[in-house]
Structure 1
Amino acid sequence: MPHQHLCAQKEQATQLYLRERSPLKFFRRHSQAIYAFLQQVWLQHFGADSPLCLLAVGGLGRGELYPHSDLDLAIVAPEPLHTAQQERIAQFVQTLWDAQLNPAVRSGSLNELCQAAQHDLSTDTAFLEMKYLSGSLNLAQRCEKAFSQQRDIVSFMQGKVLEMQQRHAKQPSFALEPNIKNATGGLRDIHTMMWLAKVQNLSGDWFHAAERALLHRAEWGLLRQSHRILAQIRIELHLAANRAEDRLIFDLQSTLAHNLGLGQHAQQGSEKLMHQTYRALKTVCQLNEMIVPMLCGRVYSHFPRHITHLDDDYYAVGNKIAAKDLKLFEKQPEHLFILIEKLQQNRQLNGIAPKTLRQWWAASQNINAHFYNNPANRARFLRFFEWGDGLTHIMRLLNVYGILGRYLPEWHKIVGLLQHDLFHIYPVDDHILMVLQNMRRFAIDAHSHELPFASGLMHEFEPKSVLYLAALFHDIAKGRNGQHEILGVADAQRFAHDHHLPTEHANLLAWLVEHHLLMSQVAQKQDIDHPQVIADFCEKVVSPQRLTALYLLTVADIRGTNPKIWNGWKAQLLQRLFQAALKHLSGENTPPSTLLNVREQHAHAILSQHHATPKQIKKLWQILGQAYFVSHSVEMMAWHLPILSAQPDLPTAQILPLPDNVLQILVYMPNGDRLFTRLCRLLSQHHLDIVAARAFITEHNFILDTFHVAFDERVLPEEYPQIQAALLQKLHRFIAQPFEIAPSSLKKSRRAKHLPFMPILDIQPDNEQQGWYNIEIIAANRNALLADITEVFAQYQVRLRHAHISTLGDRVEDRFWVHAPQWQLDSLQQWAFQRDLLAQLA
């Protein structure tokens, strides 16, 4: 009665777990019971002398088997399976199903399974954790050797890292119902670190990895504790749901909290459970960002290892900042912020070298009141917000590594804090960082198409740093048994005093924190068409500056609570309230003055001078959309609009000579395949270097691309008119019937050849819109580089929506906003895209 014996063994393992609550003991008992059962069933179906072998792979091979996990098995044959063997395998699998197990079986000859692993990373990973159970031991040993010999370690590691990045984009750790297995910082991240070590023949058992100096003792303790917490939660989830449930869903949070003795009241227990969960997830994130690069660095590097001196204390290893003395942060704690300041202000750097990161984090544990009271540290912290660039990234970095909570004790209280209001979907700290991110997006030109009105306001608002600080402090007093908007004022005022903010800025910051809910409440709960409502609202707002700041904070706040909550209706409601209040504050007859309004007014004036009719203007506005007016200057509009207004549905190409031997080129035509790429190639054929470019797509799917090009140094000035005429003629042919242009020869400048410059490629998923990505490239310039870059886009069906091209001599700094939803389904395709794109940049 092997089935009955298995049930008894599993029940015993569960009861012992409920008594001891030890995940590792449960795994050992549960796995051993399964192993014994599988061996018995194998003997029943295949006998003791079978030429086949049975292997446990994946989680079963690892010995980390949860109550309702699938049984990952492999049945390997020395030769292709014949009919009788296939029938026995089917009977074997059916017996497992009858035993209420969930078998996931790979079967075939050794050669067939090896071939499958070569083309499927998941299969290869499963066999990395193979454990012999029964059958031919010799075949099992051959199998292990064959998989090891054929495995490309570099490709395997790159694939697992990219797979992890894709998983992080889809499964954030800050979800209110986090997936304990797949979330950022979840169990799968621990497994990934283990696989990257094991494929290098390092210890695959992370709980003995400290013996091999892979982890410091403190890191080993944190990782072991985090694994214990997450594994325990996942076991509890399976038992409570009586199924393979990996999400900490609302329905089970109170049950788990009660079972784990975390609180007498459901809400209190749930809060403690989630707080514990988020802390564990963040700890794994911290370790993951240090350990994964160190493991990868043992085997491969994305780029040649270029060492660049930065100053007496720091150097760059590729695009990572590193400390020359790893004891620097311990000796001089002020460097905890100096490093971040250098990282923020040097665009060539996009992270911290692993060993430096490890020491930086270790030293940060000693941040105290003395560190906070240091005027230099306070000045640097404030400059993070005044500088602006990269602010969201560094604040997330400081939060993940606990430094933000040590520097601002009030922040520490909200890390992982839940908001039980059926409104916010993020813990308080992550919500605040989402609001900060939204505020930064308003200031970034590439995102101006998302909310053109808000972007227009943000472009002209000063000081932007106060808006960023308002985002940071607006919810910092959540969970303190009082009105958080009132309690938060004291925190904001203390910060302003300690960091010597000008009185005007300090007052605006405190006012925004206190009244950050005002505008949404008025817009959604009162009649904003009633003059008295507007008058009362303006009495509290007082000035246009406060109104603009409040509007921007309100929009950023709503969009940072839950993407599903923000919609066109709310946007229109807030905009109407803003316009009505601005009109009231400015005087009845004074039109509102925003960047969008001003540019639209300029556009009207421009078109009026060219005798455009109201009908033509209206149609042109519909075609261009509001994003056009935010992302194009008045000077650019003065050139574009008269050309487009006459016949907005007809393609055209124009060239305008500018000072310093620069040509400004406009191409307006129906969107099509690889048009930007082909236009770049066309320009390079005429010995023109693209120094700036802007890609724009209209509401009726025309491209409106503007290039600034300079003549190649080989071209003589007397040849300029001839080249311009020939170029215009070819552009007219192109817009009439787009044709292919042969690629030019790859040629770097002499300077770029002799001065090694490490290219930087950074691909970040857009947090607001799935399938959209921001790509930043910093590289040495060469002939037709932009065309070759966008050719790779086309090859991998990556659709370009916005491009901002900047050429600085022999260096390019290009930013692209692209649509590539296929990457969410196929991480290897993104890896191949990165590989081919880097080949063009090398």
Structure 2
Amino acid sequence: MSRTADSESLFDETAVRAEIDAAWAGTATPDKARAQVLAILKRVNAEAREEARRRLAVDRKGNDCARRLSHLTDRLIRIIYDFAAQKIYKVDNPSSGEHMSVIAVGGYGRGLLAPGSDIDLLFLLPYKQTPWGESVVEFILYMLWDLGLKVGHSTRRVDECIRLSKEDMTIRTSILEARRIFGHEGLFSELVRRFKQEVVAGSAQEFIQAKLTERDERHKRQGQSRYLVEPNVKESKGGLRDLHTLFWIAKYFYEVDSGEELVGHGVFSRAEYTRLRKCDDFLWAVRCNLHFVTRKAEDRLTFDVQREIARLLGYQERSGLTDVERFMKHYFLVAKDIGDLTRIFCSALEVRQAKSEPMLDRVLGRLSIKRKKKMSPVGDGFLVENNRLLYADDRVFDRDPVNLLRVFHISDARDLAFHPETLKLITRSLRLVGAELRENEEANRLFLEILTSPRRPESVLRVMNEVGLLGRFVPEFGKVVAMMQFNMYHHYTVDEHTLRCIGILSDLENGREEQRHPLATEVLRAGAVNRKVLYFALFLHDIAKGRPEDHSVAGARIARRLGPRFGFSAAETELIAWLVEQHLTMSMTAQSRDLADRKTIRDFASVVQTIERLKLLVILTIADIRGVGPGVWTGWKGQLLRTLYYETEPYLLGGHSQISRERRVESARQELRGALSDWSEAERDRYVARHYPPYMLRVDLEAKLAHAALIRKVDQEGRRLATGYALRAFEGVTEVTVVAPDHPRLLSTIAGACTVAGGNIVDAQIFTTTDGMALDTIVVSRELADDADEMRRAGRITALIEATLEGREQLPEIVARKVAGRRSTKAFALETQVTLDNTLSEYFSVIEVSGLDRPGLLYDLTGAISDLNLNIASAHIATFGERAVDVFYVTDLMGHKILSTSRHGTIRRRLTQAFDGTRAGEAKPAKKAVA
């Protein structure tokens, strides 16, 4: 699939050879000559690589760049060999044993090299190693290593190559790609002839199976999806290695030397082969730029380089997508194309193999008879062969384009896989999908039944998306196919995320997630929701991503347009649109608001309005968060959603208590008195009187009893400081309680200690007793699977909190040391936003700070709030990839809301500075403050 030619040269070889001859003539010893030649070649290599980088920046042709670098390496090796053989180890009358063939193998054998690629060489000898050959090989290798190149090498005879190729599939593959750079042509010809006769002949099935198994294992290691937002350009699904695998199999099975020959064999159409070449060229452009930018053999396209690669390849912001998002969308479309081409290739391969089976005697007529015996008709125009769907004739979709949907409906209903030939025909029939098919009532009914199938909707929709039908049939969805969101929160492209959400919803509905999601399972099992509305809303929830406007609002508009097309009533369509528009509301409320505050619940209930909406929204929210990526869902998030659901439900059912606040506080006090039955009456009265009303209303009885035991112990031991911790396994968090004399910087001190100890705070509630003691409850994400290990970790966190509060540790220094070296988020640019709202709570001002997350952020924010003489009643910490959203419920030192507008400005300014890591008075300006 490649070529090398003098036109690819990056330097003047004649001039370099003349310079080397002059250096040899002017030096007294071979060692000095070697040093001078090495210096010349280092300069030439550096200048040539810089020229390759410059040309790539101009023409953006990845294959050309890779060929130039391969050609450069060929010329350097030849110059080094000639210098060694003609000057350092010159032999006037070489014997037959003093010959060799220098051969490029592996990727280098294809004549394509990325800037950081390994150079794999085979030094082929006639029958045994001679002192001359050993010296020349050693000279070449040391010169290449001294040039800074990574060289893999072997020195073998032809017999050894054949024997090892039979034993080792990796060696077999490397020799399959062998290309003579220079040297004895007869040796190389003998290797090629014997390799074909003794290794390749009769072993195609073994080789194909080995390569496909190797590919599947590689995909498993890299992550099965080709839509990971930080893909490996070489190894990930849809990457260069997948194309290499196709070429290896083609070369082995079809005995071709170039991809273009596959067109003649009927494997690819001319258009499909052109698409393959474009995919290959694009991936090589990405990989070569990636190596140039990182200055190493880095094949993972991480966030911190994506923007620069997008710039080098000429992408610009357009239609609501940034330059980097447009680049990554192109990348994922290429990865998808490679998947299409792989299916087409495998289909042709299977047909060719079937025709080659000895038992069929290579007789086409007999083949047709035997295949028909294995088949049974299903539906109109389709057959089942070995549990796979095959078309009866290749006009099945032309006769009735609805069959494009019908074949997927059959696959789902009968649990049948697709024959590769069927998928190839679907891909080649996409031209039939137009306005007429999209408005066809039967086609839309079939699609909705596939989407809402009680069996395996994700897998069927995934195949539909892979072949390109899903985006053609629903063009609005086609716009988000392969769309990447440039952030660390979303692990997948928009379409991949959506399909995963559908799969998770199916798991919830079928009871496969009952242990993890009891509430959602219970709601679905009760059959109290419109499941078709739920599936369709989930399918549409991110359909408007990548547009200039809010995707939730734009998505609702799309939902109102598509609902009637798919047979939904006006009421159902409006419900779907509401779910799409509000699909983030429950998640944001649960994670960033105080759920013990009655106003939070009332405000959320006023948005939801009906119990049906609440049930649908909680299920959709769970599926949405779960579909973001591994590790995003936590038990703590589940607990927050359940709390919000159960607190809101009574409001919507009209049964929420309207008892006055004073009566509810008194009721809570009586409940606590009754639970402390083993305390004396006087002790109970004194203890209950120590707590202010907010504590009595906001803390559940179980936590109150744990606090009571801890405070009683402090009193009995005459201490002023105590800590405790408890595991909450189902929620996936560890709860840390601190009792200490109240002071403004207490939460900041605790946050700093947690940062140093590796504790990620997700929630905090802060209370003060009437005698000046603080009772702070900190919720920390669980890190360790084993309970004993997590208990020891919690012990380390509380020990450090105590040491810090007692002055035995100095936080600023150890926090600075701890956060140094953690993964940077410099690839992202987010505005810092600070809002102060007095309408979200009846008793507190609510400060929300959001922007680019960084280590030690909560420590800095809580310190700044303390400096502002504000009391924090609760803190709610959420991270969405690189974005942090921290919410604080605060009062002034007198316990009142912050009403002064001038003070609002001071708070916003100071917290913006704290978020951005600057102090008041420093030169760095705040990015943005929002009233």
Instruction: Provide the TM-score with structure 1 as the length reference.
Output: 0.65
What is residue 814 of structure 2 aligned with on the other side?
Answer: none
2:102 counterpart SS class: strand
Change (3 A) 1:10 1:541: closer
Change (3 A) 1:229 1:490: same
| One of 28, 46, 64 as aligned partner of 1:25 | 64
Does the Cα contact within 8 Å between 2:99 and 2:133 map onto a contact in 1?
no
1:54 counterpart SS class: strand
Measure how far apart 1:453 and its partner are.
Answer: 4.4
Measure how far apart 1:203 and its partner are.
Answer: 2.5
Does the Cα contact within 8 Å between 1:263 and 1:269 map onto a contact in 2?
yes
Measure how far apart 1:392 and its partner are.
Answer: 0.8
What is residue 183 of structure 1 aligned with on the other side?
Answer: 236
Change (3 A) 1:244 1:188: same
Matches within 5 A, 1:392-541: 392-461=458-527, 462-503=529-570, 505-541=572-608
What CA distance in whole angstroms lies between the structure 2 residues aligned with 1:224 and 1:484? 35
Number of aligned pairs? 593
2:558 counterpart SS class: helix
Measure how far apart 1:293 and its partner are.
Answer: 3.5
| One of 319, 324, 347 as aligned partner of 1:270 | 324
1:537 counterpart SS class: helix
Change (3 A) 1:343 1:267: closer
Change (3 A) 1:448 1:55: farther
Does the Cα contact within 8 Å between 2:347 and 2:421 map onto a contact in 1?
no
Change (3 A) 1:490 1:41: same
Are residue 103 (structure 1) and residue 151 (structure 2) matched?
yes
Give 2:584's aligned amino acid: L
What is residue 704 of structure 1 aligned with on the other side?
Answer: none
Measure how far apart 1:447 and its partner are.
Answer: 4.8
Measure how far apart 1:300 and its partner are.
Answer: 6.3
Change (3 A) 1:95 1:451: farther
Measure how far apart 1:373 and its partner are.
Answer: 1.1
| One of 391, 403, 421 as aligned partner of 1:335 | 403
Name structure 2 gaps, 5 residues minimum: 1-19, 21-36, 360-369, 658-728, 732-785, 788-931
Does the Cα contact within 8 Å between 2:62 and 2:284 map onto a contact in 1?
yes
What is residue 79 of structure 2 aligned with on the other side?
Answer: 40
Change (3 A) 1:586 1:66: same
What CA distance in whole angstroms lies between the structure 1 residues aligned with 2:434 and 2:144? 58
What CA distance in whole angstroms lies between the structure 2 residues aligned with 1:346 and 1:389? 10
What is residue 708 of structure 1 aligned with on the other side?
Answer: none
Give 1:29's aligned amino acid: R
Does the Cα contact within 8 Å between 1:203 and 1:212 map onto a contact in 2?
no
Measure how far apart 1:9 and its partner are.
Answer: 4.7
What is residue 275 of structure 2 aligned with on the other side?
Answer: 222
Q: Deviations over 1:608-656 (max 9, x none)?
A: xxxxxxxxxxxxxxxxx999xxxxxxxxxxxxxxxxxxxxxxxxxxxxx
What CA distance in whole angstroms lies between the structure 2 residues aligned with 1:308 and 1:548? 44
What CA distance in whole angstroms lies between the structure 1 residues aligned with 2:555 and 2:49? 52
What is residue 339 of structure 2 aligned with on the other side?
Answer: 285
Are residue 318 (structure 1) and residue 386 (structure 2) matched?
yes
Q: Deviations over 1:698-719 (max 9, x none)?
A: x99xxxxxxxxxxxxxxxxxxx
Measure how far apart 1:555 and its partner are.
Answer: 1.2
What CA distance in whole angstroms lies between the structure 1 residues aligned with 2:344 and 2:385? 15
Does the Cα contact within 8 Å between 2:426 and 2:467 map onto a contact in 1?
no
Change (3 A) 1:452 1:104: farther
Change (3 A) 1:232 1:420: closer
Matches within 5 A, 1:655-674: none
2:389 counterpart SS class: strand
Deviates more, 1:504-513 or 1:226-235: 504-513
Give 2:602's aligned amino acid: A
What CA distance in whole angstroms lies between the structure 2 residues aligned with 1:83 and 1:453? 77
Deviates more, 1:320-329 or 1:108-117: 108-117
| One of 85, 88, 104 as aligned partner of 1:56 | 104
Change (3 A) 1:201 1:290: closer
Change (3 A) 1:74 1:464: farther
What is residue 641 of structure 2 aligned with on the other side?
Answer: 574
What CA distance in whole angstroms lies between the structure 2 residues aligned with 1:459 and 1:290? 42
Does the Cα contact within 8 Å between 2:340 and 2:466 map onto a contact in 1?
yes
Change (3 A) 1:5 1:521: closer
Does the Cα contact within 8 Å between 2:62 and 2:283 map onto a contact in 1?
no
Measure how far apart 1:514 and its partner are.
Answer: 1.8
Matches within 5 A, 1:41-190: 41-45=80-84, 50-77=98-125, 89-148=137-196, 149-151=198-200, 152-169=203-220, 170-171=222-223, 172-190=225-243
Deviates more, 1:322-331 or 1:145-154: 145-154
Measure how far apart 1:22 and its partner are.
Answer: 2.8
Does the Cα contact within 8 Å between 2:78 and 2:182 map onto a contact in 1?
yes
Measure how far apart 1:150 and its partner are.
Answer: 2.5
Does the Cα contact within 8 Å between 2:635 and 2:730 map onto a contact in 1?
no
What is residue 234 of structure 1 aligned with on the other side?
Answer: 287
Does the Cα contact within 8 Å between 2:456 and 2:503 map onto a contact in 1?
no
Point out the structure with max Rg over C-alpha: 2
Name structure 1 gaps, 5 residues minimum: 591-624, 628-698, 701-842
What CA distance in whole angstroms lies between the structure 1 residues aligned with 2:75 and 2:155? 20
Q: Deviations over 1:414-472 (max 9, x none)?
A: 22323245422322222222222221222344554454543343333444332221211
Measure how far apart 1:389 and its partner are.
Answer: 1.9
| One of 194, 200, 224 as aligned partner of 2:253 | 200
Give 2:265's aligned amino acid: R
What CA distance in whole angstroms lies between the structure 2 residues aligned with 1:342 and 1:389? 12
* Root mean square deviation, CA, Å: 3.2
Q: Percent identity?
A: 28
What is residue 355 of structure 1 aligned with on the other side?
Answer: 421
Measure how far apart 1:286 and its partner are.
Answer: 1.4
What CA distance in whole angstroms lies between the structure 1 residues aligned with 2:380 and 2:497? 38
What is residue 213 of structure 1 aligned with on the other side?
Answer: 266
Give 1:197's aligned amino acid: A
What is residue 559 of structure 1 aligned with on the other side?
Answer: 626
What CA distance in whole angstroms lies between the structure 1 residues aligned with 2:487 and 2:52? 39
Matches within 5 A, 1:573-652: 573-586=640-653
Does the Cα contact within 8 Å between 2:106 and 2:173 map onto a contact in 1?
yes
Q: Deviations over 1:388-429 (max 9, x none)?
A: 322111222222232222222221222232324542232222
Matches within 5 A, 1:702-721: none
1:365 counterpart SS class: helix
What is residue 298 of structure 1 aligned with on the other side?
Answer: 352
Change (3 A) 1:19 1:490: closer
Q: Deviations over 1:144-195 (max 9, x none)?
A: 3444323432121112112222333324321222222222211111111111
What CA distance in whole angstroms lies between the structure 1 residues aligned with 2:66 and 2:591? 53
Give 1:518's aligned amino acid: T
What is residue 253 of structure 1 aligned with on the other side?
Answer: 306
Change (3 A) 1:460 1:297: farther
Measure how far apart 1:14 and its partner are.
Answer: 4.1
Matches within 5 A, 1:712-731: none
What CA distance in whole angstroms lies between the structure 2 residues aligned with 1:34 and 1:397? 43
Does the Cα contact within 8 Å between 1:519 and 1:550 map onto a contact in 2?
yes
What CA distance in whole angstroms lies between the structure 1 residues aligned with 2:62 and 2:548? 36
Deviates more, 1:387-396 or 1:574-583: 574-583
Does the Cα contact within 8 Å between 1:439 and 1:467 map onto a contact in 2?
no
What CA distance in whole angstroms lies between the structure 1 residues aligned with 2:177 and 2:581? 55
